[in-house]
């Protein structure tokens, strides 16, 4: 990226010109080029993590949970490629309207939890993951269906770019923990959370419509921005929030993910297994380290 930028600047500086080149233009161009390079690197990481996870865990004759968000798009693309090349027979269970659309647009077999209540594997993204593989999810508003599908899978596998890999929840994700709530109860729930746990529980507002975000289930979302300086037992926090009448589900995924794949900007993939796993609960399709992946 730096070589391309230097070359571009050189061409601009020494081009024939009737007036001096504006320095502010060069600065803007440099910022834009850097931003574009960063986005390209993030995309590279997402794709690498998705491809590796699908290759490691998706097998013929499986029922597969399809997560939501930007990273899962690359997982679906890889699944489609493998279905065509290997003639895989898969049934795909969506976690959201977006996931359902992806499955249908790519002509994959669409299933449901009514017909397929037990899944072999579910693959989904995350907003953040800590050292224990506890997750914050729900930035896209699909937390309840995502958690239901993940809970039905024998193996829940998470894919993300390396920015999401943190030691402590809240390190990089500053939008809080998503909580899906029954509409009539959002205000009492907000007050109870703030009183019991501190921080602020904000009603998530829509950006392209007037009023709040409405989930696929017809509910509202509170984003609880917790106190960063405070130490939380996330398992207890999850139980506390879910015990409040009117709460449907939280975006805390505690002891659910068995394995995480983090893609870096240079296309490498780092994997982590949950520390609470036993030999009997290891992912069934778990592989040892392969080429192009480092642990």
Which helix (H) or strand (E) segment holds residue 26: the answer is: helix 23-57
- The dihedral formed by the CA atoms of 224, 229, 231 and 236, expressed in degrees to the nearest 10: -10
By the 10 Å C-beta count (0-12 exposed, 13-18 middle, 19+ buried), 288 is classed as: exposed
Nearest to 221 by CA among 143, 128, 129: 143
What is the distance between the alpha carbons of residues 39 and 262, in angstroms, rounded to a whole number? 16
Tokens of 139: 């930035």
> Would you call 209 helix, strand, or coil by DSSP?
coil
Within 13 Å of residue 208, how many CA atoms lie on the same side as its CB? Answer: 0
By the 10 Å C-beta count (0-12 exposed, 13-18 middle, 19+ buried), 9 is classed as: middle
Please report, in angstroms and rounded to a whole number, the separation of the first and last CA atoms in the chain: 27
Is position 36 annotated as part of the catalytic site? no
Residue 54: strand pairing partners:
none
Of the candidates 128, 146, 180, 249, the residue annotated as catalytic is 146
**Residue 87 dihedral angles phi and psi, to the nearest 5°:** 55, 45
Active site residues: 146
């Amino acid at each position: 990226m730096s070589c391309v930028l230097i070359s571009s600047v050189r061409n601009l500086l020494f081009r024939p010109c009737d007036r001096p080149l504006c320095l502010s233009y060069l600065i803007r161009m440099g910022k834009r080029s850097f931003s574009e390079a960063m986005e390209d690197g993030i995309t590279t990481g997402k794709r690498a993590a998705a491809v590796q996870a699908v290759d490691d865990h998706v097998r013929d004759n499986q029922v597969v949970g399809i997560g939501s968000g930007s990273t899962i798009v690359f997982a679906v693309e890889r699944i489609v490629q493998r279905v065509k090349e290997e003639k895989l027979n898969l049934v795909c269970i969506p976690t959201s309207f977006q996931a359902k659309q992806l499955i249908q647009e790519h002509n994959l077999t669409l299933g449901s939890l009514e017909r397929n209540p037990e899944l072999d594997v579910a693959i989904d993204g995350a907003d953040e993951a800590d050292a224990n593989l506890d997750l914050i999810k729900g930035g896209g508003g699909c937390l309840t269906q995502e958690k239901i599908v993940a809970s039905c899978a024998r193996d829940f596998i998470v894919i993300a770019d390396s920015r999401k890999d943190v030691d402590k929840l809240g390190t990089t994700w500053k939008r809080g923990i998503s909580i899906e709530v029954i509409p009539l109860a959002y205000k009492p729930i907000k007050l109870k959370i703030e009183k019991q746990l501190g921080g602020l529980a904000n009603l998530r507002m829509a950006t392209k419509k007037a009023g709040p975000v409405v989930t696929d289930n017809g509910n509202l979302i509170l984003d609880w921005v917790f106190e960063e300086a405070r130490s939380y037992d996330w398992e207890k926090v999850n139980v506390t929030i879910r015990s409040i009448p009117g709460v449907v589900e939280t975006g805390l995924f505690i002891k659910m993910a068995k394995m995480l794949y983090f893609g870096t900007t240079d296309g490498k993939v780092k994997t982590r297994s949950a520390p609470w796993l036993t030999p009997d609960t290891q992912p069934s399709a778990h592989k040892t380290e392969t080429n192009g992946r480092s642990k």
